[in-house]
């Protein structure tokens, strides 16, 4: 790498140039600078992505050899009488979990509006709300497993008893397990959203509010006609990031429920993992990866399109 920099001028001898000499010194050096990143991307991003697509066309149960079966994995996932119910359920669960995202945004926005004030001590509150966002999801999951403990000494159950309500099984109840995960997700995801919302709120010029107030706008009008439209891009950004993260959610499921009970919390991301690393059906798992990839790509594409359309007021 240093060689190219120390000795920048390529030695040109006669009319017969080597092909790379046509590139010029700057281009060559630039590619040397890009090389470390590029090498990692090629080996661990591009090649695996293509390989995933290829593998999805094979039946490959480790430790056996791969056999080409065309689109059979996809047909199997969507239509097989044993497989399809679980797979469809995992798709439904994925969207069910994603339902937490808009709820999260609503709560986060309300709190951000509350915290968008210059009062003494507001920094402490902001720190407190942000704390869950930097804590590892593994530790958070362990703590919430304890909160959701199904016995009477579990914190949530002890509160229910105090209120005269029946005990719940929480994570072990097929109906309640997913709402439990969503609730924890809201708690742990809120801090990040609040920070982004606060940044968005603070970037709205104060003169706009003053102008509106002079025109006699009340607080609700201010929110509806100034804050909301100007916060639109931020909102959209946070929504798409939240959706993408929700589609990829894995840690909390693996730590808390392992997809259970009765597949009630088995999402696509988790089902992929189960197929690959518990049942060793690499072909089928790759097919799920391809479907998930396409879903994520659509989300990202929508996100970029909205940015293109100039949702960002600048």
Partner 1 sequence: MNRPKAEISPVSVDSHKRWQHVRKDLSTLMWYLVVTLLMLVVILPFFWMLITSLKGAKEVFAYPPTWIPQHWQWQNYLEVWKEAPFARYFLNSTIVAVAVTLGQLTSCTLAAFAFARMNFKGKNFMFLLFLSTTMISTQVTLIPSYMIMKNLDWIDHYQALIVPFLANAFGVFMIRQSFRGVPRELEDAAKMDGCGRLRFLVQIILPLCTPILASQGLFAFMGNWNSYLWPLIVTNSDQMRTLQIGLRYFVGDGGTEWGVYMAAAVLVCLPVILIYFLVQKTFVESMATTGLKDI
* Count of residues interacting with partner 1 (CB under 8 A): 98
Ramachandran angles phi, psi of 264, nearest 5°: -65, -25
Stretch 281-310: interaction string toward partner 1, x if CB under 8 A: -x--xx--xx-xx--xx--x----------
- Pair 241, 304: CB distance under 8 Å: no
Which one of 241, 259, 264, 265 is in contact with partner 1 (CB under 8 A)?
A: 241
Q: Is 196 in the site for partner 1 (CB under 8 A)?
A: yes
Nearer to partner 1, 256 or 264 (CB): 256
Give, as ranges, the residues between 247 and 276 that touch partner 1 (CB under 8 A). 248, 250-251, 254-255, 269, 272-273, 276
Nearer to partner 1, 81 or 215 (CB): 215
Separation CA 146–CA 132 (nearest Å): 16
Give, as ranges, the residues between 147 and 166 that touch partner 1 (CB under 8 A). 147, 149, 151-153, 155, 158, 161-162
Q: Which long-range contacts (C-beta less than 8 Å, at least 24 apart) are formed by 27-33? A: 28/4, 29/4, 29/5, 32/1, 32/4
Ramachandran angles phi, psi of 39, nearest 5°: -60, -45
Which one of 72, 144, 235, 266 is in contact with partner 1 (CB under 8 A)?
A: 144
Give, as ranges, the residues between 81 and 100 that touch partner 1 (CB under 8 A). none
Which one of 74, 78, 237, 306 is in contact with partner 1 (CB under 8 A)?
A: 237
Q: Is 31 in the site for partner 1 (CB under 8 A)?
A: yes
Q: What number of CA atoms fall less than 13 Å from residue 189's CA on the CB side?
A: 27
Separation CA 156–CA 259 (nearest Å): 22
Q: Is 239 in the site for partner 1 (CB under 8 A)?
A: no
The least distance separating partner 1 from the CB of residue 104, rounded to whole angstroms, comes to 13
Nearer to partner 1, 2 or 13 (CB): 2
Q: Is 67 in the site for partner 1 (CB under 8 A)?
A: no
- Convert 160-195 to b/e letters by CB count within 10 Å (16 or more is b): eeeeeeeebbbbbbeebbbebbbbbbbebbbbbbbb
Which one of 29, 116, 213, 225 is in contact with partner 1 (CB under 8 A)?
A: 29
Separation CA 97–CA 84 (nearest Å): 20
Q: Is 195 in the site for partner 1 (CB under 8 A)?
A: yes
Ramachandran angles phi, psi of 204, nearest 5°: -75, 120
Give, as ranges, the residues between 124 and 143 that touch partner 1 (CB under 8 A). 125-140, 142-143
Give, as ranges, the residues between 35 and 64 that touch partner 1 (CB under 8 A). 36-41, 43-49, 51-52, 55
Nearer to partner 1, 115 or 226 (CB): 115
Q: What number of CA atoms fall less than 13 Å from residue 103's CA on the CB side?
A: 14
The least distance separating partner 1 from the CB of residue 127, rounded to whole angstroms, comes to 7
Separation CA 182–CA 252 (nearest Å): 10
Please identify, among the stretches 10-18, 71-79, 172-180, 246-254, the one whose residues bind partner 1 according to the rule CB under 8 A: 246-254
The least distance separating partner 1 from the CB of residue 41, rounded to whole angstroms, comes to 5
Which one of 198, 226, 231, 235 is in contact with partner 1 (CB under 8 A)?
A: 198
The least distance separating partner 1 from the CB of residue 81, rounded to whole angstroms, comes to 26
- Residue 175: both structure tokens together: 């109906």
Separation CA 293–CA 286 (nearest Å): 10
Separation CA 304–CA 242 (nearest Å): 15
CA dihedral 288, 237, 232, 192 (to 10 degrees): 120
């Amino acid at each position: 790498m240093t060689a190219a920099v120390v000795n920048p001028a390529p030695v040109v001898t006669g009319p017969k140039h080597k092909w790379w000499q046509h590139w010029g010194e700057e281009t060559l050096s630039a590619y040397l600078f890009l090389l470390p990143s590029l090498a990692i991307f090629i080996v661990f991003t591009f090649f695996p992505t293509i390989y995933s697509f290829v593998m999805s066309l094979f039946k490959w149960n480790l430790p056996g050899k791969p056999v080409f079966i065309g689109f059979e994995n996809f047909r199997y996932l969507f239509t097989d009488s044993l497989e399809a119910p679980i797979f469809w359920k995992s798709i439904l669960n994925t969207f069910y979990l994603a339902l937490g995202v808009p709820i999260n945004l609503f709560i986060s926005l309300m709190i951000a509006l509350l915290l968008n004030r210059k009062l003494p001590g507001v920094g402490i509150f902001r720190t407190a709300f942000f704390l869950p966002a930097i804590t590892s999801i593994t530790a958070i999951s362990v703590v919430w497993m304890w909160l959701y403990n199904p016995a009477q000494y579990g914190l949530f159950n002890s509160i229910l008893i105090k209120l005269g309500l029946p005990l719940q099984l929480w994570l072990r109840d097929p109906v309640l397990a997913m709402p439990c995960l969503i609730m924890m997700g809201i708690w742990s995801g809120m801090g990040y959203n609040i920070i982004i919302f606060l940044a968005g709120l603070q970037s709205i010029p104060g003169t706009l509010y003053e102008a509106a107030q002079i025109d006699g706008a009340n607080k609700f009008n201010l929110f509806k006609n100034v804050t909301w439209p100007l916060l639109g891009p931020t909102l959209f950004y946070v929504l798409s990031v939240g959706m993408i993260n929700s589609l990829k959610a894995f840690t909390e499921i693996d730590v808390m429920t392992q997809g259970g009970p009765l597949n009630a919390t088995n999402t696509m991301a988790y089902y992929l993992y189960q197929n690959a690393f518990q049942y060793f059906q690499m072909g089928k798992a790759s097919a799920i990866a391809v479907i998930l990839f396409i879903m994520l790509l659509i989300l990202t594409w929508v996100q970029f399109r909205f940015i293109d359309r100039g949702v960002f007021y600048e």
